[in-house]
Amino acid sequence: MTGQFLGLSQDVAALEREAPAGRGGGRRRGGVAAPPPPGPEARAETGLAPPVRRPRLVELDLLRFIAAFAVMAFHFMAASRSLWDASPVELFAPVKYFTTLGILGVELFFLISGFVILMSAWGHSLRRFAVSRFARLYPAYWFTVIALYVLYTYTSVEAFKPNLDAAGYAINLTMLQEAFGVIPAGGVFWSLWVELKFYFLISIIVIMGVNLRRALGFMWVWLAAAIFAEWLQDDLVTEIVMPRTAPYFIAGMAFYLIHREGSTVTRWGFVLVGYACSLYAALERMQNRIDLVGLKNFPAPPPAIIAWITVIYLLMAAVALGWLRWVRWRALTTVGALTYPLYLVHQSVSAVLIPEFRESINPWLLVGGTMLASILLSYAVYRLVDRPGQRLLRRLMGRSPVEQRQASVP
């Protein structure tokens, strides 16, 4: 499953240097005194504010890692019977309700994406926005696609093997495989297509110049279109408007506006409507799984689903209101940076290790070791592929040295 999700962690480092102070922006934070933002009228007119150096929102890095870990736990301990040749929810029965709900970690990614992508688009040209998105998403993704091709072409690993030839892997390198009707090379790649469509939609207001009025107008139109698309049930409209995932992005954007501009009834109204629509979408998504495999193999009762969606919305509200500013552990910047590689590679690591050692190692020890191996590989991908790849792409695509240094901070 994924994200950005997915390539979002390093945005927080670079963009918070440029974004205007939000709630309490004029206060001294982390030893740095930030000047107050311009008045609401000026911001509404221009959508811009003087650059302000602000501390990194490491709480978002922590939430992104929690989301990635939840998805990994779901894949290793709840979803993949083929890995264990047995029911994983029976092998890991004591935690089955938590690991099954890990599938909804992607929904937390989408909430965070709405927050961070609006932040990254604010005050930037379409070209700069596109370069930033391309450089953030593709280096680690290209590595993963190539690694999957090597793994499934030149080894005997069978778990999660896609039915693809070399041309199929080549199309996957574009990240547009679903637009061409090609099977994704990785099981988590579906969410990257969702993210790309979100970037395309938000580019509409990036072209005009993002400001408060245009952001709110975009959110109104998208929300109305999503509700209409859910009623219409037309495949093409659904593909473009994404009614089941739009509420998360829209609510995430509303959380960013609350963080940046302060609370209003309208902004919290978007959050509440997004929350209600998210509950509907999550319950429908989980029920489809239950109908497919049965509640015994997918133990996700509605009250637990509602509780998960409620918790992730409350966490994002805490970020927006500044209630998690006390989270300032510097190591979280690196944790956030390796989240995207972890999301991309963890299933492949499990495909290699779990079938090989499931007969000889205790399942709990094996899943713990596989998680550790996934995290270590993700860190290596981040340091050796993702970070240098981003710098190279920005240089090739014309980013200035100052922009490159700011955007590459882990």
Predicted confidence (pLDDT) per residue in 43-100, tens digit: 443 444 443 445 578 899 999 999 999 999 999 999 988 899 999 999 999 999 999 9
Nearest-Å Rg of the Cα atoms of the chain is 21
Burial (0-12, 13-18, 19+ Cβ within 10 Å), 280 = middle
Mean pLDDT for 134-151 is: 96
CA distance 226 to 232: 10
Higher model confidence: residue 221 or residue 3?
Answer: 221
**Mean model confidence pLDDT for the chain:** 86
For residue 355, the number of C-alpha atoms closer than 13 Å in the C-beta half-sphere is: 15
Q: What is the pLDDT of residue 161?
A: 93
Helix (H, G, I), strand (E, B) or coil at 28: strand
The tokens of 56 are what?
């990194």
Q: What is the pLDDT of residue 23?
A: 42
Q: What is the predicted pLDDT for the residue at 311?
A: 97
pLDDT tens digits along 297-318 = 999 999 999 999 999 999 999 9
The one-character DSSP state at 309 is H
Q: How do residues 186-208 score in pLDDT, each as one tens digit?
A: 999 999 999 999 999 999 999 99
The confidence score (pLDDT) of residue 54 equals: 52
Cα gap 189→348, rounded to integer Å: 12
Average pLDDT over residues 23-39: 37
Q: Are 140 and 385 in contact (CB under 8 A)?
A: yes
Q: Residues 6 or more apart from 132 whose CB is under 8 A from it?
A: 11, 120, 124, 407
Dihedral of alpha carbons 251, 252, 256, 262, sign:
positive
For 172-183, write each residue's pLDDT tens digit.
999 999 999 999
Provide CB contacts within 8 A for 149, sequence distance 6+.
Answer: 166, 169, 185
Mean pLDDT of 349-361: 96
281: left (phi over 0), alpha (psi -120 to 50) or beta: alpha
Higher pLDDT, 36 or 120: 120
Q: From its phi and psi, is residue 263 left (phi > 0), alpha (psi between -120 and 50) or beta?
A: beta
Token pair 């629509």 is at which residue? 277
Q: What is the pLDDT of residue 42?
A: 39
Residue 390 token pair: 């981003």
3-state secondary structure of 161: coil
Question: Residue 116 has which token pair?
Answer: 């961070």
pLDDT tens column, 258-290: 999 999 999 999 999 999 999 999 999 999 999
Say if residue 347's pLDDT is above 80: yes
pTM: 0.84
| Whether the Cβ atoms of residue 122 and residue 47 lie closer than 8 Å to each other | yes
